[in-house]
Amino acid sequence: MSIELRAALEAIIRAALRAANPAEAIRRHVRRDGESLVVDGMAYDLRAFDDARLIAAGKAAAPMAAEVVRLLGGQLSRAVVVTKQGHLSPDLKAKLALQGFTLIEAGHPLPDEHSLRAGQAVCAALHGCTARTLVIACVSGGASALLVAPHAGISLNAMRAINEALLRSGADIHEMNAVRARLDRLKRGGLVRLAQPATVIGLILSDVIGDPLDVIAGGLTHDPQAHNVLVGNNAQACQAAAQAAERLGFAAHVITTTLRGEAREAGAQIARALLDADPPPAAMARGVCLIYGGETTVTVRGNGTGGRNQELALAAAIELDAQADPRTRPGVGIAALGTDGTDGPTDAAGAMAFADTVRRARERGLEARDYLERNDSYHYFAPLGELIMTGPTGTNVADVIIALKLSNATEA
């Protein structure tokens, strides 16, 4: 493993995560101008409203909510903030608790009893809205599981079982949320319908390929009567990664922000593309950087532990081992991570793979293909020290994959 490569990958990861900062995302689109709240150029006279209510749901709910509190302060009459367990930092928790807001940390990727309580709290917070009520909804990825309000006759256990089957099936987020929306009265614009006749502003941080508002977080505010604003997405993180790579001397290319399909297939394809990448121009003499954004899927066949990014990295490691000339291995490295800091049901954001990963693992008695078939990528990378451990990042704009190739480099 190249120390130089790892340091470069880590620097580029940090840049991508900074670009996806949810508070910054809101500041780019929302500001206070005296008694007006200006949202993407549209001014709302706050004197026209008797009260303002805040609903924030998703893995980036807390920092997004804190930014709205900064703008509206004491004008908020009530608020519900729902995020993933462990994603509410102590400082934000203290800040929001001082406001007397309802704070709920719920289950993800499977809804739990806290998710159900969150749905009940949101419905209660929207009760009694009038034409002089302003509702601001901060929506980010993960809310589909974190916030549930099942239709009558549908139990939490049924929702969990359906979600678990979807997660194991290899279905993409579009397919999963199409099913979830039929089970839940808050999804696909349900939040807006419950708030009628209030004015509803949706501030949306996208974790879905193509940024479809009816799919992100289950489409909570997807309704013609809401003013929805996309405040951040995967493309911004990928572009920031490219800029960071260029500052480090790499010729950077954002290949796509719509990566999808089976993680193991994507990993092998990315590894081949990296090995075949053309040499950089003289001005970018350090090497080449290929950047991919999107979200792959895993069809679970085994009983191991991992996530889509770890599985992608494992498949990439196998391909690098198979394709790179063992006598003159190029300095290549691939990092795949979920920008929320959690990959699947693990505490890792993803993993890194290098040209010598498979060889070093084999020396420890770890056979890469065995772990891939068991979907056990977490336990493959953990002893190698190649898991990416960011902790909860406070944001969520899908996945970023960074592939680096050093010029004129060899690895022993």
Q: Residue 383 sits in a domain of what CATH number?
A: 3.40.1480.10
Report which DSSP code applies to 47.
G
Dihedral Cα 298, 303, 305, 309, nearest 10 deg? -10
Apex 46 CA angle, 42 and 50, nearest 5: 135
Q: Which residues contact 21 (CB under 8 A, 6 or more apart)?
A: 63, 394, 395
Q: Within this chain, do residues 74 and 154 fall inside the same structural domain, yes or no?
A: yes
- pLDDT at res. 181: 85
- pLDDT at res. 283: 72
Phi, psi (degrees; rounded to nearest 5) at 41: 90, -10
Q: Within this chain, do residues 224 and 247 fall inside the same structural domain, yes or no?
A: no
Q: Within this chain, do residues 174 and 316 fall inside the same structural domain, yes or no?
A: no
Rounded mean pLDDT, 167-180? 86
The number of domains in the chain is 2
> At how many degrees (to 10) do helices 156-169 and 173-183 cross?
170
Residue 96 has pLDDT above 50, yes or no: yes
Q: Within this chain, do residues 59 and 204 fall inside the same structural domain, yes or no?
A: yes
Q: Within this chain, do residues 366 and 251 fall inside the same structural domain, yes or no?
A: yes
d(CA 12, CA 66): 27
Residue 101: Cβ within 10 Å count:
19
d(CA 274, CA 271): 5
> At how many degrees (to 10) do helices 308-323 and 263-276 cross?
40
**Residue matched to tokens 């500052």:** 247
Residue 22 lies in a domain: no
- pLDDT at res. 92: 86
**Residue matched to tokens 């979830």:** 180
Q: Within this chain, do residues 189 and 262 fall inside the same structural domain, yes or no?
A: no
Q: Within this chain, do residues 395 and 253 fall inside the same structural domain, yes or no?
A: yes
Closest CA to 386 of 365, 345, 355, 407: 355
The residue out of 181, 204, 232 marking a domain boundary is 232
Q: Residue 148 sits in a domain of what CATH number?
A: 3.40.50.10180
* Domain interval for residue 111: 34-232
Residue 308 lies in a domain: yes
73 burial via Cβ count (<10 Å: 0-12, 13-18, 19+): exposed
- pLDDT at res. 326: 58
Q: Within this chain, do residues 346 and 311 fall inside the same structural domain, yes or no?
A: yes
d(CA 116, CA 107): 10
Residue 328 has pLDDT above 70, yes or no: no
The predicted model scores a pTM of 0.89
DSSP line for 245-258: HHHTTEEEEEEEEE
Q: Within this chain, do residues 241 and 223 fall inside the same structural domain, yes or no?
A: no
The residue out of 191, 212, 232 marking a domain boundary is 232
For 175-218, what is each residue's pLDDT tens digit? 888 888 889 999 999 999 999 999 999 999 999 999 999 999 99
| 326 or 219, which is more confident | 219
The residue out of 183, 213, 232 marking a domain boundary is 232
